[in-house]
Structure 1
Amino acid sequence: MLGRPGTGVATYAAALETALVLSTRAPLRIADPSCGRPMDRSPAPARWLRWADALVDRPRRLAKRDGGLAGRDVFRLAQVHFDRHGTLLRLRAPGAPGLVHWTYPLPVRIEGWTNIYTVHDAIPIVHPTLSQIDGVRHRRLLDAIARDADHMLTVSEAARRDIIAALGCAPGAISACPPGLDIAATPHPLPDGLAPGGFLLAVGSVEPRKNLLRLAEAHARSGLALPLVIAGPDGWRSDTIAPRLAACPGIVRLPYVDRPTLVALIAAARALVFPTITEGFGLPIVEAMQLGTPVLTSRGGATEEVAGGAALLADPLSVDEIAAGIARLGDEEELARLRAAGPARGRAFTAAAFAERIDAVHRRLLERHGQTPGN
């Protein structure tokens, strides 16, 4: 996950690593040299033997490498192993047992260690039409993780409720531990044609879950004469969404922006408009609030939880409600209220706050398993 910048799960992994450092831990990374590289091009018989070996249910060994641990093809083999056996691939690591925090639900565990898994949401199970992940397989995977995990974490109470309902697992098997980060605006030019306070901003990939077609229609109905900038790449099923967005007046598409430009856009926007249909957390809400940018987001679920009363809310399925919310962004008194409330709420999601939350979870689990919390 740390090798995939720009995604929400990569941001979470980086935030977790930062939190461990702030907790005076010395986190080790588990590296798989094959991740992010083209598929193996070695001679076919060698490839067949290696992948046939993945069908054998036996532990695999990690090795020490560059101050951490490494195993070639570990994550690919884990997927093959899960599809064949329906269980997690067992790993063995050198040295004394420790705590391993898998930042994404992967079908793998280290034997003898305390294994924690972050399950970001239950969207593929609860809303299968809004996810490209196979909901049936994902349910089987989460069931397997729930059986073997020492504990599961998720990123909001709303996501925790959804996961418990979807899996039928014990409430004590999973905790909500919202992530955190520190974001600050630095001088950086905006894309051509945009001026501070002169645009609304939507952030995220173009996919059904982000609700961009309803947002575009609401923007047109709102009467607020500001362009709507959509910053994010084409995502799942964008081929049916992007052309319709292109035909909408007042829409500016930015399919790719680097991180400094994205931060500059959030800081300069009149407001972030984020009426997504469903989320496990809602990181752009936190980013906007920490930057003092007003937010309009979805009523209900994780987005309302994260907003914590410091944002305008609208039913994401109601174009009229979204349009009314956008219209309220033309009220200077409303904007002033949101600009004051946002940063106060954003302090609940700083790196230091996340470090305290995650440290408490890790200490509790390490002590339960007779391991030293300081390691």
Structure 2
Amino acid sequence: MLDRPGTGVATYAKALHDALHRLGRPIERIADPSCGRPMERAPRADRWLRWADAAIERPRALNARRSDAGRQLWGRDLFRLAQVHFDLHGTLLDVRTEGDPGVVHWTYPLPIRLEGWTNIYTVHDAIPLLHPELSQIDATRHKALLDAIALRAEHLITVSDAARDDIVTALGCEPDRVSACPPGLEAAMADAALPPELDAGRFLLAVGSVEPRKNLARMVEAWRRSGTALPLVIAGPDGWRADEIRPVLESVPGLIRMPYVERPVLLAMIASARALLFPTLAEGFGLPIIEAMQAGTPVLTSRAGATEEVAGGAALLVDPNSVDDISTAIGRLEDDALLDRLRAAGAVRARHFTLDAFADRLDALHRRLGAA
């Protein structure tokens, strides 16, 4: 995840790394040198040998090496073999390494466990289980995976109280096995120029992949009904079921679609937008809310759930299922006084989600688990 920026999970992984660094903790990375290399490039016999190896239920040894960034633990095809091992056995792949044990943070639910260490797994949300119509993840397999992780993990963490409640409900696990540890970030505003078709302060912005969960069709219809003269920019790549949504976006005059934007330019767009529109149907957290607040940009987002929790009273809230409610709220974004109040409230709320605040929450969690 640390080498694949651009997604919310990757942003979380980097924030976790940086927060632990601020605590002065020595950091070791668990890496798979084959990650990102298509399996098909390997000789067929080599692939079969590795799958046969995954069928044997035994601990694997992690190798260790030093680099400029510190010690790195690695195993060839580690992550892929873990998934195959889980499919075959329904259990986590045990791995071991030399040296003193510590805390291992798995930044995504992976079927791996490091023997002798305090294994903490981040489960970002329970959307595939509670709202399968909004996720491409297989709900049956994902439930089995989370059950297996919950059985052997020292602890589970997630990114909001709302996500914690959903995870406890979906898994039926003891509430004290799951902690909310909201992330922090510092979205440094890069000195990047806006795309030439945009004027600072004169556009509305939505960010995220084009998929059903982001509620883009309702948002676009609400923007159209609002009668605002401000163009709407949607910045994000095609996601799951984008083919069903893209024609809707392409049929609306005045809408600007940017499927790919470099990170510095995206941050400049967030900072320059009149407001961020984020009326999503389901989130575990909602990083764009905090990115916008840190940039001084007013936010419109969904009422209830994690987005209302993260907004903390500093955003304009809407019913994401009501085009009329979203449309009315977009019309209110013409009010300069309202936007000034939202900017001020957002700046205060954003202080709760800095890297230092995240580091403090992680430190408290480690101490509570006796792993500091």
The TM-score normalised by the length of structure 2 is: 0.97
Superposed, which structure 2 residues align to 1:152-301 within 5 Å? 152-301=156-305
- Residues 1:28 and 2:28 aligned together: yes
> How far did 1:188 drift?
1.8
CA contact (8 A) 2:191 2:264 kept: no
> How far did 1:98 drift?
1.1
CA contact (8 A) 1:99 1:366 kept: no
- Whole-angstrom CA distance in 2 between matches of 1:119 and 1:339: 31
- Whole-angstrom CA distance in 1 between matches of 2:192 and 2:47: 48
- Whole-angstrom CA distance in 2 between matches of 1:45 and 1:139: 33
- Whole-angstrom CA distance in 1 between matches of 2:222 and 2:348: 29
> How far did 1:40 drift?
5.0
**Aligned twin of 1:358:** 362
Opposite residue 88 of structure 2, the aligned amino acid is: R
Aligned alpha-carbon RMSD (Å)? 1.0
> How far did 1:145 drift?
0.5
- Whole-angstrom CA distance in 1 between matches of 2:238 and 2:40: 28
CA contact (8 A) 1:20 1:27 kept: yes
- CA deviation vs aligned residue, 1:207-241 (integer Å, no higher than 9, x gap): 00000000000001112110000000011100111
- Whole-angstrom CA distance in 2 between matches of 1:46 and 1:341: 57
- Residues 1:139 and 2:143 aligned together: yes
2:77 to 67, 73, 76: 73
**Aligned twin of 2:348:** 344
**Aligned twin of 1:61:** 61
> How far did 1:123 drift?
0.5
1:312 to 316, 331, 339: 316
3-state DSSP of counterpart to 2:95 = strand
3-state DSSP of counterpart to 1:145 = helix
Paired residues, number: 368
3-state DSSP of counterpart to 1:96 = coil
Q: Structure 2: which 5+ residue stretches go unaligned?
A: none
- Residues 1:41 and 2:45 aligned together: no
3-state DSSP of counterpart to 2:369 = helix
CA contact (8 A) 1:114 1:366 kept: no
Opposite residue 49 of structure 1, the aligned amino acid is: L
3-state DSSP of counterpart to 2:185 = coil
Superposed, which structure 2 residues align to 1:8-23 within 5 Å? 8-23=8-23
TM-aligned CA distance change 1:268 to 1:45, over 3 Å = same
CA contact (8 A) 2:39 2:47 kept: no
Runs (4+) of structure 1 moved beyond 6 Å?
none
- Whole-angstrom CA distance in 2 between matches of 1:363 and 1:278: 32
**Aligned twin of 1:325:** 329
Opposite residue 304 of structure 1, the aligned amino acid is: E
- CA deviation vs aligned residue, 1:169-192 (integer Å, no higher than 9, x gap): 000000000000112434321112
3-state DSSP of counterpart to 1:366 = coil
> What percent of counterpart residues are identical?
68
3-state DSSP of counterpart to 1:252 = strand
3-state DSSP of counterpart to 1:336 = helix
- Whole-angstrom CA distance in 2 between matches of 1:50 and 1:38: 14
- CA deviation vs aligned residue, 1:255-302 (integer Å, no higher than 9, x gap): 000110000000000000000000000000000001110000000000
- Whole-angstrom CA distance in 2 between matches of 1:334 and 1:47: 60
Opposite residue 357 of structure 1, the aligned amino acid is: R
- CA deviation vs aligned residue, 1:329-364 (integer Å, no higher than 9, x gap): 001111111111111100100010001001111222
